[in-house]
């Protein structure tokens, strides 16, 4: 597996203190929401590190243009369309890294008792069910070969111990709390790295994206940095951690 020396490799051994070692084939990454914002910058960063990267998006023209700009491959598909995702999975070579960076914000006035059914369904379907769909389909290969990375973009608003417990933006906050639970559950099911699959969530913080707006304090590239690091870091079982929520390369409480 081709990977820059400073980044580590992707082959955790089942032994408790084994370090990762490189495989001979080139790594392949799938980045959802990769046509813009943080996902675009994640794809750029992975591609720059020699990883064969594919971006997935639901706007055919936008995802094609982004892929051309980045020099990567693209898949045009809605993360809510399970059957089409299955067809794409059958048509492409398996991926070693899954980065789930797609997402939508709920309406600004969407408190729990004021949220519309349409807003609730749309937000949960994209932010949470869409994560399940992609991981459930494309992640089977990672589990079978006992080697890979799953990184899901969550949000500080989804933390139960942080600003996420303050109320408001109910569909969005709850969808991201669900993402956190999904990541934690999957990480434990895959042995917290002992079976070769690393599963983590990140809080990218308020970044300049379509969702974050032009006045956000950090760039999309800064918001992408921790995801790129998690996708390429060295990992030693029994020493390094996985199955956690990360912010700027540091673990934060769920």
What pLDDT digit, counting tens, does each position of 54-85 carry? Answer: 999 999 999 999 999 999 999 999 999 999 99
- Give 5-252's CATH code, choosing from 3.40.50.300, 3.40.50.970, 3.40.50.2000, 3.40.50.720: 3.40.50.720
99: helix, strand or coil: strand
Closest CA to 84 of 76, 95, 93, 73: 76
- CA dist 145 and 139 (Å) reads 10
Ranked by mean pLDDT, the top range of 37-41, 131-135, 166-170, 203-207 is 131-135
pLDDT score of 98: 99
Phi-psi region of 196 (alpha: psi -120 to 50; beta: other; left: phi over 0): left
Q: Per residue in 170-189, pLDDT tens?
A: 999 999 999 999 999 999 99
Query: What is the pLDDT, as a whole number, of residue 16?
Result: 35
């Amino acid at each position: 597996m081709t990977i820059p020396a400073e980044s580590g490799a992707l082959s955790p051994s089942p032994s408790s203190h084994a370090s990762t070692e490189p495989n001979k084939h080139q790594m392949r990454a799938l980045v959802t929401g990769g046509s813009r914002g943080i996902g675009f910058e994640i794809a750029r960063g992975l591609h720059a590190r020699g990883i064969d990267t594919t971006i997935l998006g639901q706007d055919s023209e936008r995802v094609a243009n982004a892929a051309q700009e980045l020099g990567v491959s693209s898949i045009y598909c809605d993360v809510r369309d399970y059957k089409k995702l299955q067809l794409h999975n059958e048509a492409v070579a398996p991926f070693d890294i899954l980065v789930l960076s797609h997402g939508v914000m709920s309406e600004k006035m969407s408190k729990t008792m004021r949220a519309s059914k349409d807003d609730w369904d749309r937000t949960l379907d994209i932010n949470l069910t869409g994560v399940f769909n992609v991981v459930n389909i494309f992640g089977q290969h990672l589990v079978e070969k006992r080697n890979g990375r799953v990184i899901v973009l969550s949000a500080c608003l989804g933390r139960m111990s942080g600003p996420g417990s303050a109320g408001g933006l109910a569909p969005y906050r709850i969808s991201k709390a669900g993402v956190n639970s999904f990541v934690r559950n999957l990480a434990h099911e895959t042995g917290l790295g002992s079976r070769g699959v690393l599963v983590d969530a990140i809080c990218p913080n308020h970044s300049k994206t379509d969702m974050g707006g032009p006045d956000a304090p950090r760039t999309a590239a800064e918001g992408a940095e921790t995801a790129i690091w998690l996708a390429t870091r060295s990992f030693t079982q029994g020493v390094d951690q996985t199955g956690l929520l990360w912010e700027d390369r540091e673990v934060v409480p769920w």
